[in-house]
Each structure stands twice: as C-alpha cells, then as structure tokens.
Structure 1
C-alpha cells in the first residue's frame, strides 16, 4: 500500500510562484509510488482561527474543517511548502495548521522552502521546524530550499536552470528520508498504541 502524503501550501497571494514547487512535489512523490495530495490553504480558505477542530461539538465542525481533519488523521506523512514573509512564516499556512493538534501526532513531516531571492526562506523553514515539532510531528532532517523560485521552476512547473537542477538532485534524499520515517512511524503505531 502506498504512503499517503499530504503536501501543504499556504500562500494567499495573487501571483503565487511557490505553488509550482508544491505541485512539482506532488508529482515527484507520485512517481515514487506515493499517494500524494496537495492541500492548498487558499483553496480551503479556513477562517482565522477562532475555534480549533477539537473545540467543535462532535459532528458540528464546518464541512471543510471536518474533511481536512479526516485527511490529516489518515495521512502517513506531511510536507510543508513554505515561503517567508519578513523573516517569518506565511500566515495562511500557519492558520491552517493551528486549526488542528492531535490530528498531527505521531507522523513525520518534511519542510520545503522557497523564495524569490537567494535565501530560499531558510529562516521560515527553521521556524517551521519548531512549530511542527511542538504539534507532535517528527521533522526529518532533510530539507529542500529553492531560491529564485521563478527561475528554478517555469510557469509549467518544470525545473529549469541551476536552481531546477539543484531541486531534482535534492529530492531523492528528501523523499528517502521522509519515506524511512514514514515506515518507522507506521511500524511503531502497529506495534504499540501511542502514549497519548
């Protein structure tokens, strides 16, 4: 059975270039046999966090929230594709993740960052590492960082130039690392009930 991987993307901007990376990752994981799905925060459009999923009476959460909770609960692993706003994380992606907590537990996560400049959102990726760990995920050590996103992936989402070549070179290790932890987490959950 293939690994179910949710790939989260959180920009709400009108000229979104990072979506190219998110969509490319869906395809790249699919080529390796994973059942990868893009979760686009803008398309889901959850309201600003007022009440977490778990704070709704059972069966009364808004339909979009209920559907996403089920996808998160049944996923094997997660990839967070993040840009960087003023040295920080994108509010759309952070808002989406904050609607949930226990649903994330005991699964691995990986971080892929991007920016228009050469820093490739490294500061946001570092911040996400702590956030995801606090939310109960094991964050793998391999990362993808794509600078000059508009040149590394063209409008069709095809890797181009030096940046695109670097992305395609980095992906196998990134996917292998996430895959190893995914299998480890699956095996442990089958062997023993999580402690909380």
Structure 2
C-alpha cells in the first residue's frame, strides 16, 4: 500500500553530507512505491520561527509554509535525516520542525542520523526522539545511524557497503508497519 513519507533533511551547511542519506532514503522509499518528497531547509529558506503556521490568518502564511502544510496533512509518516552538531540536532532542523504541530499528530516518524565520525549521530538522535514525540509524531524504536557518511554513501546516495542497504530495508519495513497501522487507526478517528 502506497504511503506519503516526507523526508525532512536537517542541515543547510554548504558542505553538508546529509543530502547523501536523504537521496538514498528517498530512492529506497520510492522503490517501494511510496511518495517521498524531500523537505530541504536550504531550498525552503524559512525565517527563524516567529509564528507557527497555525498562528497566521488563513491563507496568509508564507508560501513555503502553505506548501509544507498541504504536504504534511497528506503524510502518513515522516523520515527525519539529522546530523549531529555539538551532540545535538542542527538548528535548521529544529527551525523547520517547529513551524508546525497538529500537522504531525498521529503519524510515526523515523530517524536517520549521521556523522563524519564513528558514532553516526546517535547522540543527536536521542534528543531528536524526545522532540518528535513532543511534536506528536513519535519515532519508531529503530534508528538508522550512518557513521563516516562521506565514505558510507556517494554524493548521489549510493551505499558503498551492503550493510547499509540491509539496515535501511529493516528500518523502512518497521516505519511502513507503523505508518500503515496508524493510518488505519486515524481513519476511525483520533482522541481529539
């Protein structure tokens, strides 16, 4: 069953490596027949959070927020690709996520984290997991950490080693299960 899974990239740095992981995951989701639009804060150029989308009068939010709101309300799940900056999440990711709230409710999220070093961004993922839960899109139990991302994935998002394809397949199987289960449950209503 086809799903809508926005892939939210967290970095705007000029030499960012996360785009490799985002390309890999967009391709893997699309190969499964899912719609996986890339949400790239470098393209969105959102202002620093002053008002959330819901705080604008109807039809008066900046165009990128209107576009994201339309996408997010169609979404079945979210896949977040996060670097680790100072053992935490990148500010561009926090800013991108914080513009919305209700649009995330009752949908699962999944975290792909990465770093140039051996830890694969897992320290940031732990903080991100708490944030995603608070936003109403709790993360699935599994993570997809990618250590040494510059060697693990090509610029085009092709894995250099087979372990990454296998880990990603299990990770996406789990996300798909949660997304299908929660989509079915949303159809019968939510607590509020």
TM-score range, shorter chain: over 0.9
Q: CA RMSD in A?
A: 1.0
Once the two structures are TM-superposed, the CA of residue 57 in structure 1 deviates from its matched residue by 0.7
> TM-score if structure 1 supplies the norm length?
0.95
The partner residue of 1:171 within 168, 171, 177 is: 168
Higher relative contact order (CA 8 A, sep 6+): 2
Question: Hey, which of these two has a bigger chunk of strand by percent?
Answer: 1
How many pairs are equivalent? 192
**Pairwise mapping of residues 52-131 of structure 1 onto structure 2 (< 5 A)?**
52-131=52-131
Partner residue, 1:194: 190
Q: SS state of the match for residue 95, structure 1? A: helix
Structure 1: unaligned runs, 5 residues or longer: none
Q: Is the 8 Å Cα contact of residues 121 and 145 (structure 2) preserved in structure 1?
A: yes
Moved over 2 A (4+): none
Structure 2: unaligned runs, 5 residues or longer: none
Structure 1 residues 22-66: Cα deviation after superposition (integer angstroms, max 9, x where no partner): 011000111111111111011111000001001101111111111
Once the two structures are TM-superposed, the CA of residue 165 in structure 1 deviates from its matched residue by 2.3
Task: Write the distance in 2 (CA, Å) between the matches of 1:36 and 1:186.
Answer: 16
Once the two structures are TM-superposed, the CA of residue 166 in structure 1 deviates from its matched residue by 2.2
> TM-score if structure 2 supplies the norm length?
0.97
Q: SS state of the match for residue 33, structure 1? A: coil
